[in-house]
Amino acid sequence: MKIQKIFKLILVVALISPAFAFAKKLEVDPNHSAIAFEATHLKISKIPGRFTEFSGTVDLDEKDITRSKVDFTVNISSITTAVVKRDDHLRTPDFFDAQKFPKATFQSSEIKKSGKGYVLKGDLTIRDVTKKVSFQMKNLGKVEDPMMKTEKYVFSATGKINRKDFGVNFGPDAIVGDIVDLWINLETMQAAVDTK
């Protein structure tokens, strides 16, 4: 009798928690991933940049990507546009105020199928200001990394944000464009400790 009750309990938990049944905890490989951006200068010129220090996880449901979750953190001080003077300025209160707000974070809230890819929605926090944003996301597939001898899951995402929504207000749009393009490429692998 007790065995039957235990079996029923396990069955109920499995039915009401399908995400937990298939989720795989992955961590971002920062050495083979990229978080990059492009801002407009003088309305017609494009200035690229990137962040070199970040970490993140993906709770991947291989059977249904829409049940997956994404979470990552970026070290603001790692910003680089290949011009030291400009990078130093971007770290000041005029822009990111990296000393006061050292981290930017993203936490997904929803993933929806869209054509051949997905729409990834979530909360982006910069300078302690949190806004809803969305990215066009692609699942690029699963491959074996022969050098690291591990399986990799690769994702890409693109999106746009208005910098002034996050309090990055320096300069008029004619000098520094308000709209910033974001491009993200993530190579992920099985986390050292799979909490699932």
Indicate whether 2 pLDDT > 90. Answer: no
CATH number of the structural domain spanning residue 101: 2.40.128.110
Q: Is residue 119 part of a domain?
A: yes
Report the domain count for the chain. Answer: 1
Structural domain includes residue 15? no
User: Does residue 54 sit within a domain?
Assistant: yes
Average pLDDT over residues 97-110: 98
Q: Is residue 147 part of a domain?
A: yes
Farthest-apart Cα atoms in the chain, separation: 76
The residues, any chain, with a CB within 8 Å of residue 95's CB and separated by 6 or more, are 89, 168, 170
- Mean pLDDT over residues 125-154, rounded? 96
H/E run at residue 110: strand 103-114
Range of the domain at 36: 23-190
Q: How far is CA 26 from CA 49, 77, 170, in A?
A: 26, 25, 37
pTM of the model as a whole? 0.85
* pLDDT classification of 192: cutoffs 50, 70, 90: confident
Of the ranges 11-20, 93-102, 179-188, which one carries the lowest mean pLDDT score? 11-20
